[in-house]
């Protein structure tokens, strides 16, 4: 019988704090509840947009707010979380005095896919909290290499969670018959080479030269300088595209571009790129912003954006080389 998430955590070395293991279980329970809410959203009429924007200037879906509010419920975290930060909030939200950890998350990644029944997900990052004082925004501004755990849950045909605590990436899925998260892939490994890329081609005219060069070479196929045919995939959900890459390899690119809205990138460093980069690296892949390792970037703002290139090592290295 497949081990449950609880059994998996119990088998980790004693150097992994018990409260961190417990927090991962709390996070998994929150994702289970969000997943059920997502599954029922068409029936409950919770898929529509609200007449309001988040701090990013993006129109919020009702489910964005519902999932965010679920993550703010103090009883979920049993005193282990001092404060949280989210894509949907201007600043941090305190949870419990004395909590050992900070939680950063995107409650519903890809919410534009809700009404077409596309893949959406929850992305999360866990950091150490300061001791003996109140949490400030500055406490969240840590390079991604300081994360103690990270992951995401994809709400698709299966509800699947990718998780890392810094010693490999592991996949779990909910067994509804048992009511448990169970291990489905041990030590996930991304193939080093690939012939598949994920990018929003509609932005081609806005990209900088290195990205245009790379994609044009891929699209040229056997007749081009690469001499092989590539496939393009794009789900408009980072979680969905990353999950495919973790399953069969590939490269995901959301670059900076020449528009005012894209000059700093589209995706958020703290609660999208850092946790995904940690998951990718722990599965043997690579993640850069086109110039440097994502996990080495020192954040200066809670909602800082960045370009991102991540996935199979050979292709990420090529894109990064073209930027060099």
Q: What is the 3 state secondary structure string of 90-101? A: CCCEECCCCCCE
Q: What are phi and psi of 252, to 5 degrees?
A: -110, 130
**Tens place of pLDDT per residue across the chain (324 aa):** 899 999 999 999 999 999 999 999 999 999 999 999 999 998 998 887 775 667 666 767 899 999 999 999 999 999 999 999 999 999 999 999 999 999 999 999 998 888 888 999 999 999 999 999 999 999 999 999 999 999 999 999 999 999 999 999 999 999 988 889 999 999 999 998 899 999 999 999 999 999 999 999 999 999 999 999 999 999 999 999 999 999 999 999 999 999 998 999 999 999 999 999 999 999 999 999 999 999 999 999 999 999 999 999 999 999 999 998
192 labeled part of a ligand binding site: no
Element (H, E) at 185: strand 180-185
The predicted pLDDT at position 108 comes to 96
User: Which fold does the domain 196-323 belong to in CATH?
Assistant: D-Maltodextrin-Binding Protein; domain 2 (3.40.190)
| Residue 88 annotated as binding site | no
* 296 annotated among ligand-binding-site residues: no
233 alpha-carbon distance from chain centroid: 18
Question: Where, residue-wise, is CATH 3.40.190.80 in the chain?
Answer: 196-323
Q: Is 108 annotated as a binding residue?
A: yes
Binding residue per annotation — 272?
A: yes
pLDDT at 176: 86
Alpha carbons within 13 A on the beta-carbon side of 48: 6
Q: Which of 66, 146, 67, 68 is nearest to 102 (CA)?
A: 146
Question: Is residue 106 part of an annotated ligand binding site?
Answer: yes
Beta bridge partners of 120: 155
Q: Does the annotation place 266 within a ligand binding site? A: yes
Supply the pLDDT for residue 193: 87
The predicted structure's pLDDT at residue 56? 67
Compute the distance between CA of residue 221 and CA of residue 149 in angstroms, rounded to an integer.
39
Q: 5-185 — its CATH code?
A: 3.30.540.10
Count of Cβ atoms closer than 10 Å to residue 227 Cβ: 10
- Which parts of the chain fold into alpha helices (H)? 5-10, 18-39, 41-44, 62-71, 209-220, 238-248, 274-282, 313-323
62 is an annotated ligand-binding site residue: no
Cα–Cα nearest to 218, from 192, 234, 246, 195: 195
Give the global pTM.
0.96
Residues of the chain with CATH 3.30.540.10: 5-185
| 49, 61 Cβ separation under 8 angstroms | yes
Dihedral sign, Cα of residue 28, residue 29, residue 31, residue 32:
positive
Q: Tokens 């290139």 correspond to what residue?
A: 309
Query: What's the maximum distance between 2 C-alpha atoms anywhere in the chain?
Result: 63
CB-CB neighbours of 117 under 10 Å: 10
Q: Which token pair is 243?
A: 């999950």
- Residue pointed to by tokens 């605590």: 165
Q: How do strand 149-155 and strand 120-128 relate by DSSP bridges? A: antiparallel
Q: Would you say 139 is a known binding-site residue?
A: no
């Amino acid at each position: 019988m497949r081990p449950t998430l609880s059994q998996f955590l119990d088998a980790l070395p004693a150097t992994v704090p018990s409260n961190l293991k417990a927090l991962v279980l709390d996070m998994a329970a929150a994702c289970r509840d969000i997943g059920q809410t997502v599954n029922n959203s068409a029936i409950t009429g919770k898929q529509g947009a609200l007449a309001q924007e988040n701090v990013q200037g993006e129109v919020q879906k009702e489910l964005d707010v519902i999932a965010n509010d679920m993550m703010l419920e103090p009883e979920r975290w049993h005193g282990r979380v001092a404060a949280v930060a989210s894509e949907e909030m201007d600043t941090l939200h305190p949870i419990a005095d004395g909590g050992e950890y900070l939680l950063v998350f995107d409650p519903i990644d890809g919410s534009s896919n809700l009404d077409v029944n596309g893949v959406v997900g929850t992305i999360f990052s866990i950091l150490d909290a300061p001791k003996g004082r109140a949490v400030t925004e500055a406490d969240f501004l840590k390079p991604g290499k300081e994360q103690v755990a990270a992951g995401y849950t994809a709400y698709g045909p299966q509800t699947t969670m990718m998780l890392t605590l810094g010693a490999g990436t592991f996949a779990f899925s909910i067994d509804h018959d048992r009511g448990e998260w169970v291990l489905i892939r041990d030590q996930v490994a991304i193939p080093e080479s690939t012939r598949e890329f994920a990018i929003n081609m509609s932005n081609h005219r806005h990209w900088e030269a290195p990205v245009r060069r790379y994609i044009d070479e891929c699209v040229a196929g056997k007749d081009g300088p690469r001499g092989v045919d590539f496939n393009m995939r794009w789900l408009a959900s980072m979680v969905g595209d990353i999950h495919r890459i973790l399953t069969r390899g590939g490269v995901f690119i959301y670059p900076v571009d020449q528009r005012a809205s894209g000059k700093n990138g589209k995706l958020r460093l703290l609660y999208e790129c850092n946790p995904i980069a940690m998951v990718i690296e722990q599965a043997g892949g690579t993640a850069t912003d086109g110039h440097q390792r994502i996990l080495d970037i020192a954040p200066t703002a809670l909602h800082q954006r960045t370009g991102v290139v991540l996935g199979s090592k050979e292709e990420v290295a090529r894109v990064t080389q073209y930027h060099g």
